[in-house]
């Protein structure tokens, strides 16, 4: 299976549209106020039995696990911000060209038709389908100019190309968004996995002691 690099917006939207990821936008400020406040940080020490008493943070320090979690959420926040700014509105709302056509074709205004028509003139996909899109452009020009009877099938063809173009727009922004989402996942996974194994070890010891 060929995975495009960077991934298209339709792939990134499953993460970018997540309510949890959207909430991470406020993490850099709130996390700073909580984690790096000397008074509050003393109350963020996790259970000593899990992390070991010798790892209990002294006054004014923060557990490396909390720092990893904070940095991971900040990375998610950066990715979420890039997604919010650069991902086209159509891709935020619809996951495929079929959904887009089904949701918008009956509500396209002349202005939106002109926007699609203009996009078709510079579309890399349209250039590859030149024989088909030459007549498509001509028909769209009539629709966008308010002349001639509109044709749903022709409009759907143009909308499909338009949607696919938007899906692969701004590759640099898609690459940066992907990088921050992956970085966020890695940073938050480190303390999560470490805590999981520590808790599992404690649970196993408890079970063994009960058996004995």
* Model confidence, pTM: 0.74
- Whether 148 maps to a domain, the answer reads yes
Verify that 176 and 78 share a domain, yes or no. Answer: yes
- Whether 175 maps to a domain, the answer reads yes
**Tokens for 48?**
């000593």
pLDDT recorded at residue 137: 65
pLDDT recorded at residue 89: 93
Verify that 75 and 143 share a domain, yes or no. Answer: no
> What's the pLDDT tens digit per position in 14-56?
999 998 888 888 877 777 666 655 555 555 554 444 455 445 5
Verify that 141 and 153 share a domain, yes or no. Answer: yes
Contact by Cβ (8 Å): 68, 187:
yes
pLDDT recorded at residue 59: 47
- Whether 29 maps to a domain, the answer reads yes
Q: Which residue has the higher pLDDT, 152 or 90?
A: 90
147 — pLDDT class (breaks 50, 70, 90)? low
Place of tokens 């404690």: 202
- Whether 4 maps to a domain, the answer reads no
> What's the pLDDT tens digit per position in 66-112?
888 889 989 999 999 999 999 999 999 999 999 999 998 888 777 78
Verify that 97 and 147 share a domain, yes or no. Answer: yes
Verify that 16 and 81 share a domain, yes or no. Answer: yes
Verify that 63 and 98 share a domain, yes or no. Answer: no
pLDDT recorded at residue 15: 93
- Enumerate residues 6+ apart whose C-beta is below 8 A from 66: 35, 44, 191
**Tokens for 139?**
């028909």
Place of tokens 């996942």: 185
- Give the range of the structural domain holding residue 59, as residue numbers without chain letter: 9-88+170-211
Verify that 124 and 160 share a domain, yes or no. Answer: yes
pLDDT recorded at residue 113: 76
pLDDT recorded at residue 5: 79
Verify that 78 and 18 share a domain, yes or no. Answer: yes
Distance CA 42, CA 30 (A): 16
Verify that 62 and 100 share a domain, yes or no. Answer: no
pLDDT recorded at residue 49: 45
- Enumerate residues 6+ apart whose C-beta is below 8 A from 145: none
- Whether 2 maps to a domain, the answer reads no
Distance CA 67, CA 62 (A): 7
């Amino acid at each position: 299976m060929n995975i495009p690099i960077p991934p298209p917006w339709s792939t990134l939207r499953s993460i970018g549209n997540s309510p949890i990821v959207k909430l991470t936008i406020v993490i850099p400020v709130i996390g700073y106020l909580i984690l790096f406040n000397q008074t509050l940080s003393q109350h963020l020490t996790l259970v000593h039995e899990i992390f070991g008493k010798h790892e209990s943070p002294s006054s004014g320090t923060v557990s490396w696990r909390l720092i990893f979690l904070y940095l991971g959420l900040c990375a998610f926040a950066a990715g979420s911000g890039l997604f919010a700014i650069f991902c086209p509105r159509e891709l935020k709302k619809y996951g495929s060209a079929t959904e887009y056509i089904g949701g918008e074709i009956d509500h396209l205004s002349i202005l939106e038709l002109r926007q699609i028509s203009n996009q078709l003139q510079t579309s890399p996909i349209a250039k590859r389908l030149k024989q088909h899109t030459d007549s498509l452009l001509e028909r769209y020009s009539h629709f966008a100019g308010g002349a001639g009877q509109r044709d749903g099938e022709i409009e759907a063809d143009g909308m499909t190309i338009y949607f696919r173009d938007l899906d692969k727009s701004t590759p640099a922004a898609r690459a940066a968004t992907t990088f921050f989402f992956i970085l966020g996942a890695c940073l938050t996974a480190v303390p999560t996995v470490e805590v999981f194994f520590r808790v599992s070890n404690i649970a196993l010891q408890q079970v063994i002691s009960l058996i004995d």
